[in-house]
Each structure stands twice: as C-alpha cells, then as structure tokens.
Structure 1
Amino acid sequence: MEEPTFEPDLIHAIFKIVWSRRALERQMIEGADALDGETGAGTSKKNRPTSANGNALKLSCELLRNFITEAVQRAATIAEAEGVSKIEPTHLERVLPQLLLDF
C-alpha cells in the first residue's frame, strides 16, 4: 500500500505561483534599472516561462511529505516530553530550526 502524499498538480500550482511572483519582482527590478539608463539585451533566459518535469514534481511531493512527517514526529516527541497529548504551535517552532538544518 502506497503512503498518502501530495498531489503533483497541487505542488505544481504552488510552484507556478512562486515563479510568477519572482518573475514580477525581477521585472520591477529590471524596470527600475532601465529607468537608470540601462537597456535590456532582448529575450533572456529569465523571461522564458518556467516549467517542471513530472518526475521532479513527484520527487518534490515526496520530499514535502517526508519533511512534514518528520516535523510532526519531532514536535510530538517534544510534546510527549512535556506531558502534553496535543502538539502546539510552540512545539513546531522549537523543532523547526534544527529540522531546516537537517533537510
């Protein structure tokens, strides 16, 4: 039986939102540079649409699932050590710095 994971379409939609925001930020920065007298050199790699390979999306889903599972397990360990049966946001806040370093 396969473990539940995130839908690749969902992760792709999230990626597209992030890519769109970054493209807008780049355009705003480049627009400010153009006002300073610099001109662009035509279509660059930065202006091309970004896409994701299907296998890359599946891998991203699996990585995200592993990250969240590990975060919950570590937070549960902290909560259990405190004698609490419910994970609180503070438990996640306490494990997040080390978790980010580990991943």
Structure 2
Amino acid sequence: MFDFSFRSFVTLSFAKVIFIVAIVIAGLWWLFAIISGFGMASIGDAFSPYGSSGGTVIFGVMALLFGWIPPAIFLVVVRLGLEFSVATIRTAQNTSQLVDRS
C-alpha cells in the first residue's frame, strides 16, 4: 500500500477477493429478490379489500425463475472488469521486464 514507486500492483492480490465478494453480493441480491417476491404475496393479501387474493405468489415464482438474471449480468461485468485490470497490469509488468533487458 505504501509503495510510492508503484512497482508492485495490489490489484493482482485482491482480484480473487473482489470476485468472491461480488459472488456473495450477487447471491444476496437474488435471495433478496426471492424474499421480496414472496413477501409481496403477504403484503398484497393484507391490503386486499376482498381478503386473500391467492394469485400473488406469482411474484415469488418469477423471482425464482428470472431473478438470477440481473445478478448474473452483474457478475459478468465484474469479471470482465477484473480480467481487464489483471491483463493490463500483466502487460505493464511484461513491458517493464522487456525494457529492463534492453
């Protein structure tokens, strides 16, 4: 952290940790979508003037079937960003090695 010459890169060390944190966030995101979807059935029944509507479980089922798509897109974007960062850093390291040889 205190390398002011920027000879060593911290991103390579933390890329795995960042991706694991992103996976946990994506999993919690999907879990929250599922809980919210099934929770909407309870809220809808509570405020329905006609009593239990019975058909509001569809939000929970939709969250189970399609709620994984936004977290999956999030993981793809995070993975692409990390791979771009790591590739850029490795290119910089290899270039500096070539310059040192000359």
TM-score of Structure 1 vs Structure 2, range by shorter chain: 0.3 to 0.5
Pair member with larger Rg: 2
Structure-2-length-normalised TM-score: 0.37
- Relative to the length of structure 1, the TM-score reads 0.37
